[in-house]
Structure 1
Amino acid sequence: MSERFKLRGVSPRDGEIVYGPVLSRRLGYSLGVNLNLRRGKTCTFDCVYCQYGRTINLVSSSEELADWLDEETILEEVRLWLRRLIGESQKLNSITFSGYGEPTLHPGFGEIARGVRGLRDELYPGVRVDILTNASTVTDRRVRDALREMDAVVAKLDAGTQEIFEAVNRPAEGVETLEDIVRSLAELHDETGRVTLQTLIFRSASPSQGDNASADELESIAEAARSIDPVEVQVYTVSRHPLEPFVGPAEEDTLKEAARRINSVIGRKCAKIYI
């Protein structure tokens, strides 16, 4: 295997459209596709725990920014990488939209999603096309239509109440309410059966800064998850350097309690802890 394609923890900050492959605990051998290449993280959230630092371009929609990379360039780069990986006999489980910010913000996301799925069918049949999303744009029907192209939609759910949602995820002005996001995720899962949730639980070291590890909030998260009824809920905590210094990892017992509450409220064992 050439040096370029050795498995490594490649960061999407490098300005590359495609990065990896990386070995993911959740997705297996994953080739990342990064749609946000402008300087600074582009996202609808400024999460207190984000390993990529502060959101420089904090927006609620793609219309607030110009100069997005064109769809043809992105798809050609994905094609190039897939062909090279075939030549290297690289095992691949997933082509994953993730990267440096929220991938669904790209105004051509639907076209890109369909194009990547076509390239998968042509060059790497059997490999999943997945997305890691914060779910903030799923209230947009066009985004939900594009997400139908995914084999797995791995969506964030770090809060069960609007108060904690605003404190933890710090959404841009104009982002829909948590209630609307949860409702739209439920609609998407009803249509596709492909929604998985990721829930990061953390502890705050500051008395003035809240967290999402209280018993009441864990119960609220479980209730929100029940309304979506996802394939799985991936419960985990901080493992890399977070944005805010007050953010610390939750105890293993807290993660177990979160999973227990989710399983109890939903009525089946769908919550899994990743440590």
Structure 2
Amino acid sequence: MIVYGPVPSRRLGHSIGINNIPPKTCSYSCIYCQLGRTDRMQVKRREFYKPEEIFHGAELKIKQLNSKNEHVDYFSFVPDGEPTLDINLGTEIDLLRYFDIKIAVITNASLIWMDDVKEDLMKADWVSVSIDAVDEDTWRKIDRPHGSLRQQDIFNGIIEFSKTYKGTLVTETMLVDGVNDHDACIKKVAEHLGVIHPKKAYLLVPTRPPAENSIKRSSRESLVNAAEIIRSISGAHVECITGDEKEEGFFFSEDIVNDLLSISSVHPVREDIVNEILEKRNVDKAVIDDLLKRDMIVEFLYEGKKFYRKNLKNKQKT
């Protein structure tokens, strides 16, 4: 599904997801990505879906939520890849304005050096840009960018965007144990944040199964240390996100199977959350066993917890 959720978000409340990029099309192949390795690396913008498809999907979702008296805070572009690869992003934002709901875009910022990308992002109410590392070697190690990308172009693009953007600009830094959580790396990130002055600087750790099995979240001590360094150097308001979602934040309609597939396509869901939802709806857990047998979803263990994720390589329709 192009439109999914709502899903809970510490940053955006109840957010309807817009999946405007097919799996797994991205300009990065981050080692911590919860959707696995990128198998379609690209940096050229193009059309993936018709803007009208996204509008009609949003219209149906809003009607569905209204019938349940469900509140929504944002439309958020959080797709199966990098949202700014979609050349229709600006048009889609314009169409979604019809619903009078705020619009967010979470981007890795890899294409923000392009003028048309900056123009599209200017239309959003809330934009999050990823800054995992500022030194070249660490950036390539953690984000594994497309070979044609130049880090300085990206940083210059973020700075230029920050000077003219009228909405809420935040940054996102994913801390991976032993990769980008040491003092020297954090200090360089902090210096960069001091130039762009984000409304808030979010520090995150991998809480869902990452692309590489060896990846571990940074320790609490490293996270606290990073927050202190960033605050002292940049003056930014830092917030750490390390917790897990609660079941009540997810919206599932009567069509639990399709909802699970659409949400877990971009947002792996813990087993305990799925079990609670099935129990509340009096749905037999056999539906999950069936999806596993049909290879529609796959299960992962991470930090002792089981997660379900849509099998993005399976083209079978439900």
Normalised-by-shorter TM-score class: 0.7 to 0.9
The CA distance in 2 between the partners of 1:87 and 1:155, in whole Å, is: 34
The CA distance in 1 between the partners of 2:153 and 2:24, in whole Å, is: 25
The CA distance in 2 between the partners of 1:61 and 1:82, in whole Å, is: 32
The CA distance in 1 between the partners of 2:8 and 2:50, in whole Å, is: 28
Match of 1:32 among 17, 28, 38: 17
The CA distance in 2 between the partners of 1:58 and 1:151, in whole Å, is: 28
1:230-256 CA-partner distances (Å, limit 9, x unpaired): 110001211111111221010111111
Letter in 1 for 2:183: A
1:132-160 CA-partner distances (Å, limit 9, x unpaired): 11111111111111111111101111001
Partner residue in 2 for 1:226:
194
Letter in 2 for 1:69: Y
Post-superposition shift, 1:190?
1.5
Q: Give the number of equivalent residue pairs.
A: 241
1:272 aligns with 2:239: yes
Query: TM-score, normalized by length of structure 2?
Result: 0.73
Post-superposition shift, 1:68?
1.8
The CA distance in 1 between the partners of 2:16 and 2:140, in whole Å, is: 31
1:255 aligns with 2:223: yes
Partner residue in 2 for 1:208:
none
The CA distance in 1 between the partners of 2:159 and 2:224, in whole Å, is: 24
SS at match of 2:109: coil
The CA distance in 1 between the partners of 2:160 and 2:68, in whole Å, is: 40
Contact kept, 8 Å, 1:60 with 1:173, in 2: the verdict is no
Match of 2:82 among 98, 102, 109: 102
RMSD: 1.4
Partner residue in 2 for 1:179:
152
1:79-137 CA-partner distances (Å, limit 9, x unpaired): 22122222221111111001211111012111112111x2232xxxxx32111111111
The CA distance in 1 between the partners of 2:234 and 2:158, in whole Å, is: 16
Partner residue in 1 for 2:5:
20
The CA distance in 2 between the partners of 1:265 and 1:76, in whole Å, is: 46
SS at match of 1:55: coil
The CA distance in 2 between the partners of 1:73 and 1:272, in whole Å, is: 35
Q: Which runs of 5 or more structure 1 residues have no equivalent in the other structure?
A: 1-15, 122-126, 205-210
Partner residue in 1 for 2:298:
none
- 227-236 vs 186-195, which deviates more? 186-195
Q: Which runs of 5 or more structure 2 residues have no equivalent in the other structure?
A: 243-318
Query: TM-score, normalized by length of structure 1?
Result: 0.84
Partner residue in 1 for 2:105:
131
Letter in 2 for 1:271: V
SS at match of 1:77: helix
1:170 aligns with 2:144: yes
Post-superposition shift, 1:21?
0.6
SS at match of 1:203: coil
Partner residue in 1 for 2:307:
none
Contact kept, 8 Å, 1:131 with 1:150, in 2: the verdict is yes
Letter in 1 for 2:62: L
Post-superposition shift, 1:163?
1.3
SS at match of 1:221: helix
1:195-218 CA-partner distances (Å, limit 9, x unpaired): 1001111114xxxxxx10111111
Q: Percent identity?
A: 27
